Structure 1
Amino acid sequence: MPTMITNRVLCLPNDMYVVMTAAGDVLVNSPPESLKFLLAHGLTPPRYVVLPPDAPPGSEPGSHGFVYRGINYASVEFLIYANFFGQQQKITLITPTIAQAQRLQVLLRETINGPTAPDEWPGPWLQRECAAVAFFPPLGRAPTIDDMMTIVNLESGGGDLGQVQITYDGSNFTFTENGTEIARIPTTITAVAHPLTVAPPRPLLRQAITLQFIGGSDGFDPTGITTCFLAYFGNRQPLLFDAAAYLNVRLAHLGLSPRQIDLVIISHLHEDHIAGLPELILTGGKRVQLVTASTIYRSLLRVLSEMLDLTPATVAELFDFYPLEPGQPLELNGYQFIATYAVHSVPTIAVKVNGIGYSGDMRYDEVWLEHLHQIGHLSAERLDELRRFADGVELLVHDMGGGAIHTTPSAQLLRTLSARSRRLILAHTSRQHLDVTADIADRVEIAVSGHIVGAGDIVRDDEHRQRFETLTICPIFARLTASARSKLAQQCTVRNFSTGSVIAHEGEASDGCAYVIHQGIVEIVVGGEPVRLLGRGHSLGERGALIGEPRTSTLVAHSDVQLLQITPELFAFVADQLGLRAAFARAEWLWLKSTLGQLPWATLLDLALDFTPHPIAAGDVLCQRGEVGTYGYLLISGRLHFSGETSGESEQSGHCFGMRSALRGEPYRLTVRALTEGMVWSIDSTALQRLYLMYPDLLLHWQTIDR
């Protein structure tokens, strides 16, 4: 049945719909920051939320479960809070299937109340602290998800809202009111996800320590971005503290690529602190190195497992984890980390690293902490540990926010915290001004989006190094030697485009140049429809530069943009060095005939460089069960027979096999024999390791479709 959008439907960005019914407003789809979008449009958060069906496994890289292109469309935590604490009512979450409802319950129980099993906590003392923070007077205890929500599913009749019925036919959600159809909403996620707000780019003069805030507000503020910041030490690649939603786009607006991030530090698992983490892990273009406590890590695996509908073991393969246990210093990549369990409603760490302190939503109130000590919730040693959590740091980032579970600012508190460091930066608050007494006014500031704080000597930078770094984070050009990249950085030129200007038109002749985004965001439009946003380090125009073909898409400057222009002569040298012309046909095949066709063409060209074509004849054995895998394969043409744990035949082009065995150095699980002549492409274990580091979304995709 076709979609039917009536005057009973409000269409919002990011495939969000609000259907106005006799039972009340119903939100269809809930991507990150749904609450902010609703508030920005003057809407009261609905008490009913319908979530989309799972993304079909293998349909596109980075899609699985509730996640589409790295974005979680079951991002409902703040809608729950807005209903329960703001409107004193339970929210009803509606999933298409029973299995989704069960997964959503596990996910939310973990993020809102912490680990279910007592042995998953570091000790009962932390459970007592979290319960004390989350204490809700009307209930006389901390609320549970059963107090705050009802989770139902359409498969079991959960779409019956009295006068209103919601049904699901595989393509649409149909709304019927008193027997009359009032709306039919598509279940397909098609829009390119955009954040409501981005941090304005500001000149970044690096010092010995520099903090750059992507956001410094809370989950209820439609004008601000939740707390998330980058920490630079000299000219080193930055560390990322927590992960705001729509992170890739927000980084690009600051002239950064996710590939430039060194380590990611996660304080806790509330949605406003991890909403951008699935996107970063799956589509950031670089394997994430994650630092947090083991308790939080194990919870994260369970949360991502339910979100992606994968086993925790499979999720663990998507990124690297480095345990930062409170009380046990961690030395990593030249940094020394020290952590303390913060006082919050779920397990949370406050972190110190090389002169920076971050409190991570800690409720810091010395009078209240003393009270907890007096009633036996805090030992004397624990009380002393909390009082000293930030001693000796240069810059202290402290999440505020007020209420029961965050720090409430007061003149005395600010004076106490400012004494802990040389500079106190207040975050997690929508307040632009606080009453700061004159004696500490020069040491206290509020982190708004784009805010920059520095300490120590200025570190000089130059344009050549920045161009070299841009080429280095571009997968194709990163294949060149460092000296070749340095020379290319000197020889290329910079072209500037203002926001909204068209860089190239679909169908127009190529100028023979290749380009790499140096600053800003480029929107790719095909047939008048936006298909993706690309930021720093993405290359453009290779097809035209290689074969002179007209443009296959329109390129629009989504912000002010700088492109590195590589002339035809320079690109010809690169093409010869890397063998790009030989890989062109393979990239075309991936684009036109595989499920990877939604990736940028430059990514497909990079992948094609690692595949080697092999003609096969009937009877050829490609994999022998029990032998250690050294190659993975992609079937291009012909028919294969699989035998072993499972048996069967395949002539589906694009079929993968042996990838996981070759990546892990494990024995093949199946024997694969050619039944007819045909063609396969092979990829060796070394190339697979490179993909493992650069394209976690492809790893997930191939694990889904690999035999």
Structure 2
Amino acid sequence: MSDSKGAASGFARKLGEIIQLKRGGAVVMTSAGPVQIGSPPETIKDSMRYDFSVPSIYILPSRLYREEWGVSLAELEFPVYFNFFVLKRKTVIVCEKSQRARAEEVLRESVFGPETIDLTADYPRDTVPFGLPDLKREMDYFRRNPFKGGDLMQMEDLVTFVELRPDGETPVAKGHAVTVRRGKNAVGVRDGDRRTEVPESLLAPQIEPPPDTPQSFEPPLFGVTCLGASHGFDATEPTSGFVLWVNHRGIMVDPPANSTRVLESFNINPKHIQGLLLTHCHADHDAGVLQKCFQETKITLYTTPTIFKSFIRKAVALTDLPAVNLYDLFDFHPLSLGRPNRIGGAEVWCNYSLHSIPTIGFQVFFEGNSLVYSSDTLYDPERIQKMHETGVMSRDRMSSLLDFPWHFDMIFHEAGVPPLHTPASVLAKLPDDVKKRLRLLHTDMRDIPPSSGLRRADRGVENTMSLPVRPSYRTEAVKTLDALSRVDLFTDFPIEKAKEFLAMAKIESYKSGDAVSLAERREIEPQKFYIVMSGQVELRYEGRSIVYDAYDYFGQTTILLKQARRSSLYAKTDVQLLTLTEHDFHHFIRGTTVATRLIRLARVRSTGSWDLLSESRIFSRLSTTQKTQLEHILEPWDCGPRTHLQRPGAVPTAAFIVRRGQVNALQARKTVCRLSTGDFAGDAVGLFNQKPSKLGFVSHGVVEAYRVGGSDLKDFLNRNPGLHYRLMDHEYVFGGGKRSGARSKHAF
């Protein structure tokens, strides 16, 4: 087996060779050419860098979406485009019969867009906006088949589906003795007498650790950090996506695949991201949305109702979950067109751009500054004029598209591959003063005309573009209240408490390496409660350390339990802290349950809960904040041998996390797995549905565990849908042991 390090090396490939792709998936070399198993986002970039052609045969694995990797393995849009428009051939998709309709749905929404368009919900009631688009007619214009005299492209023009035979081998390549057979957690490819077995574990993306960037990033009041600036067919550069900063909080626009790791590599704390904005449902724009939601806490999603419905249809097809369950992954914030939307204190106006599926661009106004993003669009005055003349669009629609706000302070415009995108040559004709304020996105550097004066947006926090905003008297108060609202302890506090906090809290700043508080100075330093506003703080105690990020809190235990401070605090990066003195902290939480909850948390932590969660196969991926939230609902619980934690056939009322000892997981009265330290013993599906569970859990010897009550666990998982989704998968929960059954579709 070889990997992506062999890309473009020029040596001859051997038949039967397996190439593990960097972004996920694997290729088997056959006499019919490369055959790819799994098609993750941006897989075309891997294929284009190799010394073999882009595959024409794709085999879908047993699961189209792998939540533990955060990756879809059925993103076929770009391979289909490349095979059809460049190589002038169909793509062969090999799948189970039950997967075909799902794969077709994903492709249909990506390539052709919604079958019907009704923009009523996207505009204010009783409003007739200027330039209301006929999106269906525009989509049909882009859907014309260039090889069939302009007829509308159909699915059968692009792909051929081959359904796997339930028993035996399935031929997949005409004129070649290449067959495919699906095994348990593996795919077998036979080429004549040569057999190749590909375990599905090889389809995981090859994750590179983020570089060591110790200095934290302080978001601007108003600006943009570019995460990627190229398009889906550029094999050398990341796909476009950026963070829009308003009031120091970020909106990630069209998060690229693996956006969580991109943020890590830029040292952008994910807690600075308040939401996602989705402009449309092409794979190079929406691939990171589902991933972001499954990996982290519930997040706000901004888009129009039309685009949201399209995204949900794709997500249902990929995950095989009911739509009603997927709604629980997001706090959906519908964006209206024809009136302003309020996001993070800014005024945002949206418009439908000219593209092959419903797509929005937007304008942002904040503290006297303006920013515009074209999104994917065809801005070509000559083409737009002809589209009006041939009846594709109205005069008002033509005028609205041509009237682009080139006078704005900051301009981000795409310049992708025509005819779906704006030719860079058109933008090269803009006045020089416009080009100084313009940055290109969705653009291959090689396509920018030399000496045109055009510049592509530069990636990275060091290249963050910000507009000069003079902090108002509200700025510090907004930042302080934002930090307070992020602390789960205080989310339900009334407005009177917020006023108290503003009056009592102090902001302390430290440089990287500074001592914030030293254990040896505990007799002379006052006790304090801390909230991290920005940066990182390292707590050191008896040779161990804990790193606190933005919006984490600490110091409450020593205050409430009246303990002598035994740890020291150091600024790991430049840091800003909100602090309350011991007296003010007691005053702030008086009359609330916070003290009781924090004392309970301290006692649970004294039993080793933090270390257990940090080392657990199930829970180690949780953030510091998520682990703290979980610790709040843990209750130490012990039992002797052969004790039923949960009986088969009973409605679950609790779940357990094993501290010490072993627990047998039962199904049909048979042991299917033995759970140990850090494992989850419970049926999340049965607990949520309040229906009898087919699973049982019995102690194997003396067991020490943490018990989590049913209502507490439901509340926690509702706020953390990524963990919820993983706990639905019994095979994942049982550590890959004997299969206990497929994921329930009554999930959330």
Normalised by the length of structure 1, the TM-score is 0.72
Instruction: Give the SS at the match of 1:289.
Output: strand
**CA 1:386–1:319: 2 relative to 1, 3 Å:** same
**CA 1:243–1:66: 2 relative to 1, 3 Å:** same
**CA 1:564–1:207: 2 relative to 1, 3 Å:** closer
1:167 to 181, 189, 202: 181
Q: Is the 8 A contact 1:47 1:91 kept in 2?
A: yes
2:255 aligned with 1:243: yes
1:390 to 405, 408, 415: 405
Q: Is the 8 A contact 2:428 2:449 kept in 1?
A: no
Bigger mean CA deviation after superposition, 363-372 or 674-683:
674-683
Q: Percent identity?
A: 21
- Aligned equivalent of 2:608: 584
Q: Is the 8 A contact 1:172 1:185 kept in 2?
A: yes
In structure 2, the gaps of 5 or more residues are: 1-13, 122-131, 473-477, 493-500, 516-540, 555-570, 576-581, 583-597, 731-746
- Aligned equivalent of 1:73: 73
- Aligned equivalent of 2:285: 273
Instruction: Give the SS at the match of 1:249.
Output: helix
Q: Is the 8 A contact 2:373 2:411 kept in 1?
A: yes
The residue type equivalent to 2:682 in the other structure is C
Q: Is the 8 A contact 2:224 2:464 kept in 1?
A: yes
1:537 deviation in Å? 8.6
1:306-317 map, 5 Å:
306-317=317-328
- Aligned mates of 2:663, 2:191 — CA distance in 1: 53
1:309 deviation in Å? 1.2
- Aligned mates of 2:447, 2:471 — CA distance in 1: 31
- Aligned equivalent of 1:372: 387
- Aligned equivalent of 2:595: none
- Aligned mates of 2:234, 2:212 — CA distance in 1: 14
**CA 1:446–1:9: 2 relative to 1, 3 Å:** same
The residue type equivalent to 1:222 in the other structure is A
The residue type equivalent to 1:584 in the other structure is G
- Aligned mates of 2:326, 2:414 — CA distance in 1: 29
- Aligned mates of 2:627, 2:491 — CA distance in 1: 13
1:76-95 map, 5 Å:
76-95=76-95
RMSD between aligned alpha carbons?
A: 5.3
Q: Show CA shifts across 1:271-322 (max 9, x none).
A: 1111212221111x33221111111000101111111110111111111111
The residue type equivalent to 1:332 in the other structure is I
1:41 deviation in Å? 2.8
Q: Is the 8 A contact 2:375 2:414 kept in 1?
A: yes
1:249 deviation in Å? 1.0
The residue type equivalent to 2:196 in the other structure is A
Q: Is the 8 A contact 2:67 2:725 kept in 1?
A: no
- Aligned equivalent of 1:697: 722
**CA 1:670–1:491: 2 relative to 1, 3 Å:** farther
Instruction: Give the SS at the match of 1:317.
Output: helix
Bigger mean CA deviation after superposition, 190-199 or 427-436:
190-199
2:629 aligned with 1:611: no
Q: Is the 8 A contact 1:199 1:254 kept in 2?
A: no
- Aligned equivalent of 2:144: 135
- Aligned equivalent of 1:557: none
- Aligned equivalent of 1:596: 618
Q: Is the 8 A contact 2:376 2:414 kept in 1?
A: yes
1:43-442 map, 5 Å:
43-54=52-63, 65-95=65-95, 97-118=96-117, 125-139=134-148, 140-155=150-165, 158-161=170-173, 162-178=176-192, 180-189=193-202, 191=204, 193-194=206-207, 208-234=221-247, 236-283=248-295, 285-354=296-365, 355-390=370-405, 393-411=408-426, 414-415=429-430, 423-431=437-445, 434-435=448-449, 441=453
**CA 1:135–1:67: 2 relative to 1, 3 Å:** farther
**CA 1:650–1:197: 2 relative to 1, 3 Å:** closer
1:32 deviation in Å? 2.1
1:34 deviation in Å? 1.3
The residue type equivalent to 1:112 in the other structure is V
1:512 to 533, 543, 546: 543
The residue type equivalent to 2:278 in the other structure is I
Q: Show CA shifts across 1:626-658 (max 9, x none).
A: x9x9x754487999999xxx9999999745358
The residue type equivalent to 1:682 in the other structure is V
**CA 1:484–1:308: 2 relative to 1, 3 Å:** farther
Instruction: Give the SS at the match of 1:276.
Output: helix
Instruction: Give the SS at the match of 1:445.
Output: coil
Q: Is the 8 A contact 1:661 1:668 kept in 2?
A: yes
Bigger mean CA deviation after superposition, 99-108 or 34-43:
34-43
1:13 deviation in Å? 2.8
2:38 aligned with 1:29: yes
1:37 deviation in Å? 1.5
1:447 deviation in Å? 1.5
Q: Show CA shifts across 1:112-138 (max 9, x none).
A: 110124558989921101122343422
Q: Is the 8 A contact 1:397 1:425 kept in 2?
A: yes
- Aligned mates of 2:728, 2:673 — CA distance in 1: 19
- Aligned equivalent of 1:549: none
Q: Show CA shifts across 1:507-556 (max 9, x none).
A: xxx9622142879xxxxxxxxxxxxxxxx9999xxxxxxxxxxxxxxxxx
- Aligned equivalent of 2:466: 454
In structure 1, the gaps of 5 or more residues are: 56-64, 495-509, 520-535, 540-561, 567-572
Q: Is the 8 A contact 2:117 2:135 kept in 1?
A: no
- Aligned mates of 2:230, 2:212 — CA distance in 1: 11
- Aligned mates of 2:54, 2:227 — CA distance in 1: 25
- Aligned mates of 1:6, 1:214 — CA distance in 2: 38
The residue type equivalent to 2:153 in the other structure is P
Q: Show CA shifts across 1:467-518 (max 9, x none).
A: x999998999999x99999789789769xxxxxxxxxxxxxxx962214287
1:153 deviation in Å? 3.1
Q: Show CA shifts across 1:394-453 (max 9, x none).
A: 21211111311001122566417975x972211111125734888xx4xx5211433432
Q: Is the 8 A contact 1:80 1:149 kept in 2?
A: yes
The residue type equivalent to 1:656 in the other structure is G
Instruction: Give the SS at the match of 2:468.
Output: strand
Instruction: Give the SS at the match of 2:357.
Output: coil
Instruction: Give the SS at the match of 2:63.
Output: coil
The residue type equivalent to 2:721 in the other structure is P
- Aligned mates of 2:694, 2:18 — CA distance in 1: 52
Bigger mean CA deviation after superposition, 679-688 or 421-430:
679-688
**CA 1:538–1:298: 2 relative to 1, 3 Å:** farther
1:345 deviation in Å? 0.4
Q: Which protein, 1 or 2, shows the higher relative CO under an 8 Å CA cutoff with sep ≥ 6?
A: 1
Q: Show CA shifts across 1:44-95 (max 9, x none).
A: 211112222117xxxxxxxxx4544211122222111111111111111222
Instruction: Give the SS at the match of 2:225.
Output: strand
**CA 1:648–1:207: 2 relative to 1, 3 Å:** closer
1:19 deviation in Å? 1.6
- Aligned mates of 2:234, 2:115 — CA distance in 1: 30
Q: Is the 8 A contact 1:398 1:426 kept in 2?
A: yes
- Aligned equivalent of 1:527: none
- Aligned equivalent of 2:520: none
- Aligned mates of 1:673, 1:27 — CA distance in 2: 37
Q: Is the 8 A contact 2:380 2:426 kept in 1?
A: no
Q: Is the 8 A contact 2:269 2:549 kept in 1?
A: no
1:376 deviation in Å? 1.8
Q: What count of residue pairs does the alignment treat as equivalent?
A: 611
Q: Is the 8 A contact 2:187 2:198 kept in 1?
A: yes
- Aligned mates of 2:210, 2:155 — CA distance in 1: 30
- Aligned mates of 1:154, 1:241 — CA distance in 2: 38
**CA 1:671–1:90: 2 relative to 1, 3 Å:** closer
Q: Is the 8 A contact 2:116 2:136 kept in 1?
A: no
